[in-house]
Structure 1
Amino acid sequence: MNKSYVELTQVSITFSTPQGPFTALKDVNLSIERGEYVSLIGHSGCGKSTVLNIIAGLLQATTGGVILDGREVSGPGPERAVVFQNHSLLPWLSVYENVALAVRQVFRGRKTRAEMHEWVEHNLALVNMTHARHKRPQEISGGMKQRVGIARALAMEPKVMLMDEPFGALDALTRATLQETVMDLHARLGNTMVMITHDMDEAVLLSDRIVMMTNGPSATVGEILKVDLQRPRDRMALAEDPAFHHYRAEGLRFLYERHRRPEAA
């Protein structure tokens, strides 16, 4: 039997607190295929970021574990790049230097200086940020900063892109533009993507599947919604598509029922 590209098996995590042990996640099982776009959605405190951080290797599960491409995840690694809601760019470095720093860390000894330069330029071009290569983060907009964060992550050539509400702090127009950028990158590059979002419209627009988490504590996977919408997806066309509205309604129904009956989690 072939295993999925990313496998979370019986993942639970318990934190020590002054009030005693707190179980954030319990028995999370999730399989993700190579090249799939999966969104995690749920109410605040349902453990979405905890799941993402366990896949990233930033947190260690108390029980269970994660397998990526046949290998156990035991810590952070360049094969898993994270894009946070806060761009996390170093303010004293230019756009080019922020991306180049990640490239040097991953490819030192594997690429020549000229090859690394070309690779930085290539990834800035992917997100249309070549024109701002010499600017510092304080000189560019929030949307542009997120583009640089995405370029930096792509430049690591990760097997999996992990995105924690990457558009959450942006205005509606910038958010829509970056969603289009990410859809285009996913179509061209075929990256495996796992994204946290609170926005059901965004989840349906971008995802192949939406993983809906139950409420915490002891949160787990409640339902998984398969989004069977043809790609490439056109935002304006989907606005009139009954299937889009069906998937959106199914997700909202789950969230509403969990909010109304938290004990069901």
Structure 2
Amino acid sequence: MSKHYLTIEDVNKTFHTGGNTTEVLKQIDLTIDRGEYVSIIGHSGCGKSTVLNIVAGLIPATSGGVILDGKEVNAPGPDRSLVFQNHSLLPWLTVYENVAIAVDKTFKGSKTAAERREWVLKNLDMVNMSHALNKRPAEISGGMKQRVGIARALAMQPKVLLLDEPFGALDALTRAHLQDEVMRIQAELQNTVIMITHDVDEAVLLSDKIVMMTNGPAATVGEVLSIDLPRPRDRIALAEDVRYNKYRQAVLSFLHEKQRKVETLQQKREEKDAQPLHSAQSA
């Protein structure tokens, strides 16, 4: 049995649609320790969300598997909470009710109604949303909606918190503020986090480890970069930190190299497609 808290073992994923077969992931191997904050980064189409969905149990791997805390993952469960880029709040429920519905589902047999209410309030307080308990999603900002989504996920006491570009739709100021909140919460709870992001600075700021994916199809883990920066982290202080900038440059170089390969391949395809046309015109 793996000594790691979460293990992704030789995961492959192939999709079959309309008679076409696409190999999205190839031999994904990754180990994550309890309490680690891990970011997955890569160009669009590299299968980042597919990895997250397999860990969440939303889709099965074609081969290989995921082991969490000694048990195989083969279906969704409350031990893995997923926060999407879109907050996914129910618009007809209040802030309080959006969190309460998850808490009631998870703890109805183990907590009394009073205990569940207290737990909902505690988690909303953790994300600084106690002032908006009776507001509906349409009455609060995008950043507040994401706070509620994070509170709902945390309230389920998951073994792993899965974040699918949770700050991607927010303006820069709100994004930075919510990143700081997530760092504070993670430091307090010491929970295990896997986050998908396109943002290099975000990955370096938040992570203990950055997983860099190769381009799809048949994407795999290209490199894993350990981020050895002390916590708590201050984004202003890190801007001039030599190690921070070294990590940032390493991720940017990896992504640039993968993008260069894509552009080279695309150019070769265009040249190949143009050859028959050129031959016909010459004739």
Please tell me the TM-score bracket, short chain as reference: over 0.9
The separation in 2 between residues aligned to 1:2 and 1:49, in whole angstroms, is 24
SS at match of 2:101: helix
2:58 corresponds in structure 1 to 58
How many correspondences in the alignment?
Answer: 264
Q: How does 1:118-157 map to 2 (within 5 A)?
A: 118-157=118-157
SS at match of 1:194: strand
What residue ranges of structure 2 are gaps of 5+ in the alignment? 266-283
Q: How does 1:4-15 map to 2 (within 5 A)?
A: 4-15=4-15
2:252 corresponds in structure 1 to 252
The separation in 1 between residues aligned to 2:21 and 2:213, in whole angstroms, is 21
4+ runs deviating over 6 angstroms: none
SS at match of 2:85: coil
1:176 is matched by which residue type in structure 2? A
Shift of 1:19: 4.9
2:75 is matched by which residue type in structure 1? G
2:81 corresponds in structure 1 to 81
Q: Is 1:195 the equivalent of 2:195?
A: yes
Q: How does 1:90-239 map to 2 (within 5 A)?
A: 90-239=90-239
SS at match of 1:261: helix
The CA deviation string for residues 112-149 of structure 1, in whole angstroms up to 9 with x for no partner, is 00000000000000000000010000000000000000
The CA deviation string for residues 58-83 of structure 1, in whole angstroms up to 9 with x for no partner, is 01000000000000001000000000
The CA deviation string for residues 165-220 of structure 1, in whole angstroms up to 9 with x for no partner, is 00000000000000000000010000000000000000000000000000000000
The separation in 1 between residues aligned to 2:61 and 2:35, in whole angstroms, is 25
1:45 corresponds in structure 2 to 45
Shift of 1:2: 5.2
Kept after mapping to 1: 8 A contact 2:124/2:130:
yes
SS at match of 2:230: coil
1:231 is matched by which residue type in structure 2? R
The separation in 2 between residues aligned to 1:2 and 1:136, in whole angstroms, is 44
1:110 is matched by which residue type in structure 2? S
SS at match of 1:67: strand
The separation in 2 between residues aligned to 1:142 and 1:112, in whole angstroms, is 32
2:213 is matched by which residue type in structure 1? M
The separation in 2 between residues aligned to 1:19 and 1:220, in whole angstroms, is 24
Kept after mapping to 1: 8 A contact 2:2/2:70:
no
The separation in 2 between residues aligned to 1:253 and 1:42, in whole angstroms, is 12
The separation in 2 between residues aligned to 1:125 and 1:239, in whole angstroms, is 30
The separation in 2 between residues aligned to 1:156 and 1:173, in whole angstroms, is 28
Q: Is 1:70 the equivalent of 2:82?
A: no
Shift of 1:42: 0.1
The separation in 2 between residues aligned to 1:19 and 1:234, in whole angstroms, is 51
The CA deviation string for residues 36-61 of structure 1, in whole angstroms up to 9 with x for no partner, is 00000000000000000000000100
2:261 corresponds in structure 1 to 261
Shift of 1:18: 2.2
The higher radius of gyration belongs to: 2
The separation in 2 between residues aligned to 1:252 and 1:84, in whole angstroms, is 25
The separation in 2 between residues aligned to 1:216 and 1:235, in whole angstroms, is 32
The separation in 2 between residues aligned to 1:106 and 1:20, in whole angstroms, is 39
1:35 is matched by which residue type in structure 2? G
2:61 is matched by which residue type in structure 1? A
SS at match of 2:90: coil
The separation in 2 between residues aligned to 1:123 and 1:22, in whole angstroms, is 41
The separation in 1 between residues aligned to 2:48 and 2:109, in whole angstroms, is 36
The separation in 2 between residues aligned to 1:100 and 1:164, in whole angstroms, is 22
TM-score by length of 2: 0.92
The separation in 1 between residues aligned to 2:227 and 2:175, in whole angstroms, is 21
RMSD (Å), alpha carbons: 1.1
The separation in 1 between residues aligned to 2:246 and 2:80, in whole angstroms, is 33
The separation in 1 between residues aligned to 2:220 and 2:43, in whole angstroms, is 12
TM-score by length of 1: 0.98
What residue ranges of structure 1 are gaps of 5+ in the alignment? none
